[in-house]
Structure 1
Amino acid sequence: MLAPEVPMSHSVAGEPPSAGRRAAPLTTAVYSAAEWDLLTSLPGRVLVAATAPGPGRPERGVMAGLAGLDALAAGRVFDSDLVRAVVAAIYARHDGTPRTSERLTDLVDLLAACRAAVRVLHRRADPADSAAYRQWVQSIAARVCRAAPSPAGQPTSPADRRFLDRLGGALGLG
């Protein structure tokens, strides 16, 4: 027989939160509202940019978008409190308010947002959480690019490789 699952959310004093109310994860408490919005909107912006066709980049289909959504959802099981908190915040948004990730942005803006997120993570996040977040965000784009057909049977087109390289550089991974 399996033991019942016990919620891991506790107040700062170590006591369980009041019934019907979840305590905010300590992970999110160190970020300002603007910083948290940046961290929670960036994965969606990357997914949108990765699925958008561009010069030398193949037309994306439904399968590529689904691959990106699957990569985003995979963050729920990452060994990083930050990544799991970001995914939970993304899925908790249900009020119909337009989010940054729902607006198309150009690559220059996206790369600037990535560099800004890296600065926030450098100042506020545990190094392991920072690395996990940055790798997860890049994995979203990589899954989209791999899901799209490319010429000559290569895993990604040269333009997709350039996109992924620039994204990795902006995320401090390359």
Structure 2
Amino acid sequence: MLTPEVPMSHSVAGEPSSAGRRRAAPLTTAVYSAAEWDLLTSLPGRVLVAAAAPGPGRPERGVLAGLAGLDAVAAGRAFDSDLVRAVVAAIYARHDGAPQPGEQLTDLVDLLAACRAGVRVLHRRADPADSAAYRQWVQSVAARVCRAAPGAANQPPGPADRRFLDRLGGALGLG
């Protein structure tokens, strides 16, 4: 028996809902082209790499920052958003180690352009709550990496990192 489509949503804090409503096979991916899905599934990794990269005024980051970013990506499995959970599942399903489209190292301008393209895809195809959850989740990956600077674990990001996060948030349509 088919069950009716449950509206995709997330909690305000991005935590799993207490109701625990999850379908075994979300239909989320069916609405995206292969190129759109590749874009959405590659952005979290690209953001993690960009957030961990040193830059003018940004500290050198080590393994702990990368682990913090991976933890933030994995945290998407608990979101009350079909889209975020489907993206995380797709990321973890890639087990061959081959680079995925868009996962190559790019400069910040390219990353921000990709984020804006992702926002356009979400605007056209995603439920507004899923779109917001995805964009907030991607931003949270960068924020966790930026807070994991050596010697400053879980400290507020410095000025250069705040500028990076502000630009990323703007490209993601969050501010």
State the TM-score bracket (shorter-chain normalisation).
0.7 to 0.9
Percent pairwise identity: 88
Alignment partner, residue 135 of structure 2: 134
Q: Unaligned stretches of 5+ in structure 1?
A: 1-12, 16-22
Alignment of 1:53-64 (within 5 A): 53-64=54-65
For 1:14, give the aligned amino acid.
L
Alignment of 1:3-42 (within 5 A): 14=2, 25-42=26-43
Q: TM-score, normalised by structure 2?
A: 0.83
- The 1-side partners of 2:58 and 2:74 are apart by 24
For 2:96, give the aligned amino acid.
D
Alignment partner, residue 82 of structure 1: 83
Q: TM-score, normalised by structure 1?
A: 0.83
- The 2-side partners of 1:158 and 1:150 are apart by 16
User: What is the number of residues matched between the two proteins?
Assistant: 154
Query: Which has the larger Rg?
Result: 1
Alignment partner, residue 115 of structure 1: 116
- The 1-side partners of 2:167 and 2:82 are apart by 26
Alignment of 1:161-172 (within 5 A): 161-172=162-173
Secondary structure at the counterpart of residue 111 of structure 1:
helix
- The 1-side partners of 2:26 and 2:99 are apart by 24
Q: Which has the higher helix share?
A: 1
CA offsets 1:51-96 (integer angstroms, 9 cap, x no match):
0000100000111111000000000000100000000000000123
Task: Confirm or deny: 8 A CA contact 1:48 1:101 kept in the other structure.
Answer: no
Q: Unaligned stretches of 5+ in structure 2?
A: 4-23
Q: Which has the higher contact order (CA 8 A, sep 6+)?
A: 2
Structure 1 residue 98, shift from structure 2 partner: 1.3
Structure 1 residue 99, shift from structure 2 partner: 1.5
Structure 1 residue 155, shift from structure 2 partner: 1.6
- The 2-side partners of 1:113 and 1:156 are apart by 23
Secondary structure at the counterpart of residue 103 of structure 1:
coil
Superposition CA RMSD, Å: 1.9
Task: Confirm or deny: 8 A CA contact 2:38 2:102 kept in the other structure.
Answer: no
Alignment partner, residue 92 of structure 1: 93
